[in-house]
Structure 1
């Protein structure tokens, strides 16, 4: 196949790819959204508790009753009634990562999830017990 024939074919493929990505953007704009800022908490040492104030923002296509719930123990953190979007300041305190779910209060269905990751600056060093005479 010559290079001259390849150029129109490449143009068609690029246009099809562009149409597919535009279609995906439309579908994504209709989805449920749950955002966390910041979504990472940094502790000084590995294994230590991490503390952060996390801004939670969510948006759904339909007005309804929604709750923010912690996935690990199903603890209901807060709820909104007759809303299609909302904000909340969540006080995060944990050793491990935590997943938050946006749940429909009526059906109990999880609509969106977001994770707060925990990392650390230093690995914990365990000191070896050495015998000393003096």
Structure 2
């Protein structure tokens, strides 16, 4: 009878130990996810009526990193920074823009111009341009 109690106690201790390891591994992986840099764009698409038309959109770009430092936000539309932040780990940028093609927003470190993260604002359209072939309108 004593041996059964010892066996149950050791199973209970090993079960508690395994549960503790599982909880530690879950919290570690959750910490890793929150340490990744984030860059969000709203809206994610700019939609024009027809293919080839420019699109006008009010874009809101927000970012977050773990380490406070100096950062700048860039766009593929212009070569200069859209906005820079000093000693920050979070930022927001909002502007009205004309889109003629997909626009990539990139967060870089201001100190050494190192790429941190980027995200794309996609250009989409409701109707595609349909071109008629020259042969379709010829009489002969």
Higher helix fraction (1 or 2): 2
Q: What is the CA deviation profile of residues 20-41 of structure 1, one whole-angstrom value per residue up to 9, with x for unaligned ones?
A: 7764432120011111111111
Gaps of 5+ in 1: 1-14
Q: Between 52-61 and 15-24, report the one with greater CA deviation.
A: 15-24
**Which of 99, 102, 118 is the matching residue for 2:104?**
99
Question: 2:71: which partner in 1?
Answer: 66
Question: What's 1:115 paired with?
Answer: 120
Aligned length: 118
Q: Secondary structure at the match of 2:31?
A: helix
The TM-score normalised by the length of structure 1 is: 0.74
Q: Per-residue CA shift, 1:57-96, capped at 9, x if unaligned?
A: 1111122111001146543111111211111103231221
> Deviation per CA, 1:79-119, whole angstroms, max 9, x where unpaired?
11121111110323122111110010001001110110111
- Which structure: larger Rg? 2
RMSD value over aligned CA atoms?
Answer: 2.6
Q: Is the 8 Å Cα contact of residues 46 and 99 (structure 2) preserved in structure 1?
A: no
